[in-house]
Chains A and B, each alone.
Chain A
Amino acid sequence: MTHLAIILLQNDLAPWQEVMSTFLTEGGMPVLGTWIAAGLTLCMLSFVYKDNPFFRFGEHLYLGISAAYVMTIYWFNFLKPKFVYPLIPVLDPHYGTPEGTSLNLWIIVPGILGVFILMRLIPGQGWFSRITFAFYIGGFTGVALPRIFAGFLLPQFFATMEAIPWRVNSIDSAVLLLNSLILFIGALSVLVYFFFSMEHRGFIGRVSRVGIYMLMIAFGASFGYTIMARVSLLIGRMQFLMFDWIGEEIVARIASLFHGG
């Protein structure tokens, strides 16, 4: 049992690793993988027609695998090196060498705060998590506040003002002036539109209407780009089905039938 625990903690499987890797990446396993991937791709695509058991199978399989993959990553990248090893350095396979983790008992404090979050799963004990959230969100807010101001609000604000060229002496600079006015008036009018404390009537109403138009153009651009994104993903899947699954040779042969040859 102890031996198994040590294997798990130290992941000392080097001798098997190579054999396993060869088995999984050469020969039959990638072929099997391609067929499984193609089957699952079709399961997920079937949702386009309507919700059906094949899709729901894929959806639930996806959930389980995804959660376990992420949990495995937390284990190797977070729990072991940032929590277990600092508390019990002997478990680190590099213990006693310069690469080893050094003891840090302070890590117990955030560990306890972390366990408080898990206590939400116990009925009636959920309030413990408020202490953790207060510590985390409160502290993070303190970190973020000046940095959002200095790194986000101010640069964006100054870039809006500085863009305006005040001297116009050529067509280029006239175009620049026009563009910078679009930016200045546009950004300002969007802000006015967002400012709900004032009634949107009269002058304010007219400015906020300009804001609406600026937002519509921005959302339009996003819509155009969103189509690009979704289509790219579909192309990716089609490339997989056509070239990796069916195979480039067969696809080329099918294509040649239509070439008039």
Chain B
Amino acid sequence: MQFFRKQFPVLLAFVMGMLLFVQYFVPSKLSKGFYEGFADWLIVIAGFAAIFAIASLLHYHMGKIRKRVLGYGFSVITIVAFIQMLVLGFVFHYRPGTPAGWEYQWLFVPMQATMFATLAFFIASAAFRAFRARTWEALALLLAGLIVMIGRVPIGEFISPHLSTFSDWILNNPNMAGYRGILLGVALAQIAIAVRIIFGIERTYMGGGD
């Protein structure tokens, strides 16, 4: 049993990783079939993982209700909302013109959109309070931010066409160079992590689970 808990997962990750790595370099029908079949299987596993995420959310709120944690009434709202939407969705589908589609349009959309819209207020307030050129680096950030912010909307073009030309230049050159550096860094890091995973050095993704 200990073998299945500890060594087997590491071995499995190595075998799967190597097989699919080698597959990339083998242009045969068998190898292609293996690759496609693997993708089919992973979709099924990903589906169960997604269901697990939802189950965990419900588990968390049910726990709050069971223990009568302060404010558990809100968890009741979550559970009731979940159950009614689930029943309506399973029975009538979720496309527009069904009860679940109606709830999506008139409850879900406004709530999610507004949640992110409130950030406009916070970012405006934060810009006023915290966006200061205290150092040369902060000055670079501030200037790039201001020019892109104003140069990318019609009023920038209206004030001076040079503003929009300059913001285009920032985006296409220094901004691009900065993100190019980040992208190259990310790609190198991903490759390093991939090698570590295949060789069993990196195991944190398996989670505790004991």
Contacts and interface: CB of A to CB of B under 8 A. Distances in A.
Contacts of B194: 141, 144-145, 148
B159 interface: no
A227 B147 CA distance: 12
Main SS class of interface, A? helix
Nearest 10 CB-CB pairings of A with B: A190-B181, A114-B48, A64-B81, A220-B144, A218-B178, A186-B177, A138-B13, A72-B89, A142-B20, A224-B148
A175 B177 CA distance: 16
B69 interface: no
15 contacts: A16-B92, A37-B107, A67-B58, A70-B54, A79-B47, A111-B48, A133-B9, A143-B38, A145-B17, A159-B180, A183-B176, A186-B178, A191-B181, A191-B185, A227-B124
A134 B10 contact: yes
A34 B150 CA distance: 34
Given A57-B74, A237-B114, A33 B105 contact: yes
Interface string B2-24: 00110011101111111111111
B114 to A, nearest CB: 4
Given A44-B114, A110-B41, A74 B50 contact: yes
Chain A interface size, as a band, is 35 or more
A131 B4 contact: yes
Contacts of A142: 16-23, 198
A221 B210 contact: no
Interface string B190-202: 1100110110000
A24 interface: yes
B89 A69 contact: yes
Interface of B: 4-5, 8-10, 12-25, 35, 37-38, 40-52, 54-59, 61, 71, 74-75, 77-86, 89-94, 96-124, 127, 137-138, 140-150, 152-153, 167, 170-185, 187-188, 190-191, 194-195, 197-198, 205-210
B111 A78 contact: no
Contacts, number: 435
A80 to B, nearest CB: 10
Given A13-B93, A224-B149, 16 more contacts: A20-B92, A25-B97, A59-B74, A62-B112, A62-B115, A64-B80, A107-B40, A117-B45, A143-B20, A185-B177, A215-B178, A217-B178, A220-B145, A223-B148, A227-B124, A233-B120
Contact of B78 (A64, A141, A225): A64
B171 A8 contact: no
A230 B12 contact: no
A251 interface: no
A215 B77 contact: no
Given A33-B105, A60-B81, A134-B9, A118 B86 contact: no
B123 A60 contact: no
B180 A187 contact: yes
A187 B45 contact: no
B55 A224 contact: no
A226 B145 CA distance: 10
Contacts of A95: none
Contact of A110 (B9, B42, B197): B42
Contacts of A137: 13, 197, 205-206
A149 to B, nearest CB: 6
Interface stretch (A150-158, A166-174, A197-205): A150-158
Given A29-B102, A220-B142, A71 B51 contact: yes
A207 to B, nearest CB: 11
Nearest to B190: A148
Nearest to B127: A227
B140 A109 contact: no
Given A29-B102, A62-B108, A194 B35 contact: no
A255 B38 CA distance: 61
Contacts of A56: 71, 74
A217 B127 contact: no
Q: Which of A37, A43, A186, A216 is the most central at the interface, judged by chain B CB atoms within 10 Å of its CB? A: A216
Contacts of B142: 220
A191 B10 CA distance: 32
Contact of B184 (A146, A153, A228): A153
Contact of A68 (B24, B81, B91): B81
A161 to B, nearest CB: 11
A36 B145 CA distance: 38
